Amino acid sequence: MLLCTTKQLDLNKPLPQRNILESIADKINDKKIFLSVHERYYEHKYCVALPGISQDIHQKVGFHTNRVCLLSLAENHPIRKEDKNISRINFKVSETLDRLQNKVSGKSKRGAQKLHKSSIICYIECSDDTNYPVYSCVEGKLVEINDKLITNPNLLKAKPDSDGYIALLLPVLSMYEDLKSSMLTKEQYFCLGSI
């Protein structure tokens, strides 16, 4: 995992040929600033609009270097912005489809529930009777639902970028680059918010 940072920095450097010990100091010098795990290993993109969905959805997708996607709420999502109290997260998205029943096996995550960009992952029910669907934003497979949200739904607000993630998704690899570029960068997202 540390590779991700050091590799970007050292991509063009020749392999260390010097004294063993010096080369280590180099590596550690590269990391002067404390960055959270989600900042160091994930590229965050924002998903505001989805085809067929009328309102803005304010979601965020963290792309790991291995292409696993981490789904969470963006900063301007009403729940985060207005600090709403979450009463329950409902993963039973239809009569027949319960996201908590998702089971995957093997390296290729066989048996995973298939997702389209506008597939609903869950509904966040707030104590003010508002109800927000969370969309997949990614076409691919559902790998894992963050089961900690069942007992502690407010983790979603408290640690939105880390322990409060909503789900792990595995995107269809052939569409990966298109998917990433179709989403907004952090700068674009906050620009949008200020208009």
- Closest separation between CB of residue 152 and other proteins, Å? 10
101: nearest Cα among 132, 59, 145: 145
* Stretch near other proteins under the rule CB under 8 A, chosen from 31-39, 44-52, 89-97, 180-188: 31-39
Nearer to other proteins, 35 or 191 (CB): 35
Residue 135's SS3 state is: strand
Q: Which of 50, 126, 143, 175 binds other proteins (CB under 8 A)?
A: 143
Answer yes or no: are the C-beta atoms of 104 and 66 closer than 8 Å. Answer: no
32 neighbors 99 (Cβ within 8 angstroms): no
Minimum CB distance to other proteins smaller for 4 or for 93: 4
Distance CA 118, CA 49 (A): 10
Residues 76-105 that bind other proteins (CB under 8 A): 104-105
- ∠ Cα 167 170 175 (to 5°): 130
Instruction: Considering the complex, state which of residue 82 and residue 110 has its C-beta at the smaller distance from other proteins.
Output: 110
Q: Which region, judged by CB under 8 A, interacts with other proteins, from 38-46, 91-99, 123-131, 179-187? A: 38-46
Candidates 12, 15, 52, 174; binder of other proteins (CB under 8 A) is 15
DSSP 45-94: EEE---TT--S---EEEEEETTS-EEEEE-TTSHHHHTTPPEEEEE-B-S
Least distance to other proteins from the beta carbon of 58, Å? 20
CA pair distance 131, 121, nearest whole angstrom = 13
Query: Interface with other proteins includes 67 (CB under 8 A)?
Result: yes
Does 63 interact with other proteins (rule: CB under 8 A)? no
Distance CA(157)–CA(148), nearest Å, equals 13
Query: Where do contacts with other proteins occur on this chain (CB under 8 A)?
Result: 1-3, 6-7, 10, 15-17, 19-21, 23-25, 27-29, 31-38, 40-41, 64-68, 70, 104-107, 109, 143-144, 146, 148, 162-163, 165, 168, 170
